[in-house]
Amino acid sequence: MRIDVLEDGSFYRVWAPAKINLFFEVLGKRPDGYHEIETLVAPISLYDRLDCRFFKSDEPGITLECVDETGRRRLDVPCDDSNLVAKAYHVWREEMKKNFFYDKPLSAHVKIFKKIPTKAGLGGGSSDAAAFLLVLKRLGGVCICRDWLCEAAGRLGSDVALFLEEGASAGRGRGERVESFKLPELWATIVKPSFGLSTSEVYRQCSTIVGRPRRSLDDVLRALRGYEGSCFAEFFSRYVFNRLEEAASLLWDGVDSWKSTLGAIPETLVAQMSGSGTAFFALCTCEETAKRVATAVRASGLWNSVEDVFVVRTL
């Protein structure tokens, strides 16, 4: 993630990317109540911006603002301690208290300029938390090691650790066991319908899809590592998969209609829901074809039910 340090280190500006799940398999429910998953995630060129200010205080704490690109307050994003950014701050403060040589009781004010849609499966909240953790690591210096970052990310949420990596990564367990994966650049059109789904509600439906033949992330990674052709996007499109589509379709009939609509556009190689939805991505061969898909979406009969459309590349 890009982090700019301003005003003698008291002001940090960081760009937090969204992600798409290029592969997602649900292996079953764990004893701790979470689901065991395997996923291949790519960050994309769609960002939230976080302006983080730090100042000394007798009673350290954090305050949050969340606005859209025009500066209007976003009512769909909590600005209390339920926000993952606030949770990241409190986890960091606990760690700092253990280091007796750290004598800077700092408070924080974070203003989030929100561009990544919510209830989309694009990981905006998790990415914001990971971005703030990376700022805190820079602020804390030697007190914060990489192992602590990964452990803290796992405590905050299943997706957060995936955003600590540069580029694509494979996630296992709850998503907190992460390994980097080198992936050539891909272009896609992101479509966010106006309807949203709760991640927890989608996962509750996973019990109904237990017993399906499983797909293996290792098989996908092995195939991708062995690729030597000239059009990676076309080759990769055959491996794109998301088990959560089946669960989401039990809550919302738009899954099938959006997938078929995007898939029917000639420039689309494959259409897929990202994560728990409701955003979809249409994988394309290049930027120009992705732009044509976006134009086709805007001209379609479903345009009135669209919140936003983005043309993006993987990072």
Name the residues annotated as catalytic.
Answer: 19, 159
- Specify the residue for token string 């499109």: 237
When computed from its CA atoms, the radius of gyration of the chain, rounded to whole angstroms, is 20
Task: Output phi, psi for 147, to 5 deg.
Answer: -60, -40
Helix crossing, 287-298 with 254-263: angle to 10°? 130
Contacts of 7 (CB under 8 A, 6+ apart): none
Please state the length of the chain. 315
The answer to whether the beta carbons of residues 285 and 233 sit under 8 Å apart is yes
| 244: nearest Cα among 236, 229, 255 | 255
Amino acid at 59: E
Structural tokens at position 280: 């979809």
**How many angstroms separate the most distant Cα atoms in the chain?**
62
DSSP designation for 83: S
Token pair, residue 229, equals 């052709």
Tokens matching residue 117: 């849609």
Retrieve residue 212's tokens. 């399906």
Q: Are 25 and 39 in contact (CB under 8 A)?
A: yes
What torsion do the CA atoms of 51, 56, 61, 66 make, to the nearest 10 degrees?
A: -20
